[in-house]
Amino acid sequence: MAKEKNNESWEYAPSLESTAHIQLKEKYDLFIDGKWVKPKSGKYFKSINPANEEVLAEVAHANESDVNLAVKAARKAYTNVWSKMAPTERAKYIYRIARLMHERAREFAVIETLDAGKTIRESRDVDVPLACNHFFYYAGWADKLEYAFPNRKFESLGVAGQIIPWNFPLLMAAWKIAPALATGNTVVLKPAETTPLTALKLAEIIEESGLPAGVVNIVTGYGDTGAAIVNHPDVNKIAFTGSTAVGKIIQKSIAGTHKKATLELGGKSANIIFDDAPIDQAVEGIVNGIFFNQGHVCCAGSRLFVQENVADKVIRKLKQRMESLYVGNPLDKNTDIGAINSKEQLEVINKFIQIGKNEGAEMYQTKCNLPKKGYYCSPTIFTNVAQSNVIAQEEIFGPVLTVQTFRTVDEVIQKANNSPYGLAAGVWTDKGSRIFNLTTKLRAGVVWANTYNKFDPTSPFGGYKESGFGREGGMHGLSGYVKLND
Ligand code: NAI
Ligand code: MG
């Protein structure tokens, strides 16, 4: 039942996803060598629900000795078991993990929403199904690697250290673990400090799957725990997704070592609307590109470029659509925009909003009532933005969009490429030839045509320039985990 709300949008009766079926422990230890072990550090930290600031669980804070144990376990499992196992057998374990995750999809979705603040619609429809599909997909590759590297000799690397962020916690764990296992490596994975819970639930599934002890180890902690993984001499590969600042630290730390790396870093991606685009679909694409997951998306379409002759129309329709977006409790199935992941991230976003105002850009924010407790941000757009403005150059990682106009194809290519980043782009036009022209000239790892933020395990993903290097997903995602010998 719906009733009318402050003349702009509709308010729906709440439709809360139940939390009755989830199982969370009060305290989580580290998952090392197939067992739950207390941290040598003796320390634990709290993971909270950013939607209401309530504590969800206490989680171990691993130090160097803990990481050392995890790497030792991973090395032993690599040498004695995993590297010797027939690929078809490896595939069965990966497949089993996918199946178990699939069976518990609802529990994973609810825990992800509680721990990260993202909407239940998204964790249910995007994060969890994609995470399952990554395991299913890479299970299929495990015994077909000779087709991925035809006429080449290849071998696994050994122990992979994997460090992931808080914006897609379970999905990023899947992106990292599935290809590493398929290619015969063992893993030490560290989830982000604000969102460790689904990785720990994944550890429970891994335990249940009977995966040999030590093949996957999950250690929780902060940046110091991540640094201990990066600097451990017996780690052969570092896979990192997170900020460009930490990506640079990692690159410096491993320079001159044998360690192989894949870095998936920030972005400031351009979403480009031409005058012949289907405008209503494009507006949905803009909303999906930047307000989806509260803008906590590395490939968010955070810079909008609209062809000048349709700019007024697009902006008017965009504002209208923004007014109907529902910001609030992420567990409510009606919610479009959930909670910002942490107090720190909300402060970062608010700082950029202030910078935008100071730079003289024109701000438009929707007039929604934000919940009193928890971390929330109204969808925000800035018009009258100059190319040199900080808000058009730096990654904000929140529901904040800058809008610029253009007249010609060459102009928009130049503007879109004028960024230290190069992760993704979107092009909206009716003309196929124009799409192909832009996809070859935009310096971005992914270019979506007449859509945005579409993901599939079979498609490679990764950046140019300061957005990092290496590809994850698809057949390309296997290369980061093997050594080619000829
Ligand atoms: P971050 O890069 O500090 O955190 C990502 C992961 O790296 C976490 O697991 C963290 O514990 C770990 N880490 C931190 N310092 C480390 C170090 N010295 N060595 C090894 N691991 C380390 O990102 P943060 O501070 O949470 O967010 C800051 C900004 O980064 C955001 O505002 C956003 O702009 C960007 N970001 C980009 C992401 C992406 O998907 N590309 C994801 C998350 C953040
Ligand atoms: Mg949390």
C-alpha span between 339 and 180 (Å, rounded): 32
The answer to whether position 38 is within a domain reads: yes
**Would the pLDDT of 436 be above 90?**
yes
The model's pLDDT over 307-346, given as tens digits with 9 standing for 90+, comes to 999 999 999 999 999 999 999 999 999 999 999 999 999 9
- What domain count does the chain have? 2
Alpha carbon of 402 to ligand 2 centroid (Å): 28
**Would the pLDDT of 7 be above 60?**
no
Pocket test for ligand 1, best of 243, 249, 259 (most atoms within 8 A of CB): 243
Q: Is 241 left (phi over 0), alpha (psi -120 to 50) or beta?
A: beta
Task: Give nearest CA residue, ligand 1 atom 42.
Answer: 242
Identify the CATH number of the domain in which residue 391 sits.
Answer: 3.40.309.10
The answer to whether position 6 is within a domain reads: no
Output the pLDDT for position 2.
41
The answer to whether position 18 is within a domain reads: no
Query: For residue 48, what are the β-bridge partners?
Result: 55
Alpha carbon of 266 to ligand 1 centroid (Å): 9
**Would the pLDDT of 247 be above 80?**
yes
Nearest ligand to the CA atom of 111: 2
What phi and psi values does residue 269 have, to the nearest 5 degrees? -80, 145
H-run or E-run covering 381: strand 380-383
Determine how many CB atoms are found less than 10 A away from the CB of residue 2: 10
| Of 434, 402, 437, 398, nearest in space to 418 by CA | 402
The model's pLDDT over 57-82, given as tens digits with 9 standing for 90+, comes to 999 999 999 999 999 999 999 999 99
The answer to whether position 106 is within a domain reads: yes
Indicate the pLDDT class of residue 3, thresholds 50, 70 and 90: very low
The model's pLDDT over 168-184, given as tens digits with 9 standing for 90+, comes to 999 999 999 999 999 99
- Tell whether 253 and 386 lie within a shared domain: no
Task: Give the mean pLDDT of the chain.
Answer: 96
C-alpha span between 271 and 447 (Å, rounded): 9
Output the pLDDT for position 12.
80
- In this prediction, residues 361-370 reach a mean pLDDT of 93
Output the pLDDT for position 5.
46
- In this prediction, residues 402-406 reach a mean pLDDT of 98
- Tell whether 431 and 471 lie within a shared domain: no
Cβ 159 vs Cβ 141: under 8 Å: no
Q: How far is CA 412 from CA 273, 425, 426, in A?
A: 10, 12, 12
**Would the pLDDT of 482 be above 50?**
yes
| Of 113, 127, 20, nearest in space to 328 by CA | 113
Output the pLDDT for position 38.
98
Provide the token pair at 466: 């300061």
**Would the pLDDT of 9 be above 70?**
no
- In this prediction, residues 439-447 reach a mean pLDDT of 96
Q: Where are the alpha helices (DSSP H) in 49-86?
A: 64-77
- Tell whether 319 and 347 lie within a shared domain: yes
- In this prediction, residues 227-254 reach a mean pLDDT of 97
CA dihedral sign, ordered 362, 368, 369, 372: negative
- Tell whether 194 and 315 lie within a shared domain: no
> Has 298 been annotated as catalytic?
yes
The answer to whether position 396 is within a domain reads: yes
The answer to whether position 288 is within a domain reads: yes
C-alpha span between 134 and 358 (Å, rounded): 44
- In this prediction, residues 273-285 reach a mean pLDDT of 98
Determine how many CB atoms are found less than 10 A away from the CB of residue 393: 15
CA dihedral sign, ordered 293, 296, 298, 301: positive
Q: Which ligand 1 atom is the nearest neighbour of the CA of 396?
A: 34
> Has 264 been annotated as catalytic?
yes
The answer to whether position 187 is within a domain reads: yes
Domain that holds residue 433: 270-456
